[in-house]
């Protein structure tokens, strides 16, 4: 399916190519120069993101923002993702940046899409690591677990831990999450 308003570049996709993308409810992202188009998430996905964000918001300091629909851009412009949640310095909300530089993302969270799990489990896992995002959570409602990935490198994340029931940590701020309530 092609959209009549979307201009296709002659070569690899870059962030600038998305600036004229239609506001049609679809999510337009780029992975290593390839366009990814996904439909809006279903209500169970949105509900899980909502519950997770509420718990994080209650514990996040005012200097950090926990946001949805903020794009994360790799420096070279050939990868651009819109994570379900991203944590970054709140002062950046007052800027005119078209997207959040990957170096500014302190934590990125993706809820596994039941329709296309490989985007979150493979593509974005590699993309966030190679961009240097220090912590990436993959929230999987099917297994009712959160995979926490840290220590990014060009080859991927070097450390991973699975969590069920609860999740505690100190970065990017001290938090304690009730995953039973998140997965409800």
Q: What is the pLDDT of residues 109-157, one digit of tens each?
A: 999 987 788 889 999 999 999 999 999 999 999 999 999 999 999 999 9
> What's the confidence (pLDDT) of residue 23?
85
Give yes or no for a cis peptide into 38 (omega within 30° of 0): no
- Domains of the chain by start residue, with CATH: 41-183 (3.90.1570.10)
Q: What is the pLDDT of residues 13-64, one digit of tens each?
A: 999 999 888 888 899 999 999 999 999 889 999 999 999 999 999 999 999 9
Range in 14-18, 85-89, 149-153, 171-175 the model is least confident about: 14-18
Question: Is the confidence at residue 1, as pLDDT, over 50?
Answer: no
> Is there a contact between 93 and 69 (Cβ–Cβ < 8 Å)?
no
Cα 159 to Cα 184: distance, rounded to the nearest angstrom: 28
107 Cβ contact partners less than 8 Å away, ≥ 6 residues apart: 85, 86, 87, 133, 134, 135, 136, 137, 171, 172
**What SS3 state is found at 139?**
strand
């Amino acid at each position: 399916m092609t959209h009549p308003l979307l201009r296709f570049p002659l070569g690899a996709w870059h962030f600038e190519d998305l600036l004229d993308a239609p506001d049609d409810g679809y999510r337009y992202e780029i992975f290593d120069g390839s366009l990814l188009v996904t439909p809006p998430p279903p209500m169970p996905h949105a509900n899980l993101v909502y519950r997770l964000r509420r718990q994080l918001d209650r514990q996040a300091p005012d200097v950090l923002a926990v946001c949805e629909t903020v794009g994360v851009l790799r420096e070279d412009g050939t990868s651009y993702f819109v994570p379900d949640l991203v944590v970054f310095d709140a002062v950046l909300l007052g800027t005119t940046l078209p997207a959040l530089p990957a170096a500014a993302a302190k934590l990125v969270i993706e809820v596994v899409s039941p329709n296309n799990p490989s985007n979150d489990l493979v593509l974005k896992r590699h993309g966030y690591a190679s961009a240097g995002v220090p912590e990436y959570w993959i929230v999987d409602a099917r297994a009712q677990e959160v995979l926490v990935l840290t220590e990014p490198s060009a080859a991927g994340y070097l450390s991973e831990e699975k969590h069920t029931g609860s999740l505690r940590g100190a970065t990017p701020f001290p938090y304690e999450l009730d995953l039973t309530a998140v997965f409800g």
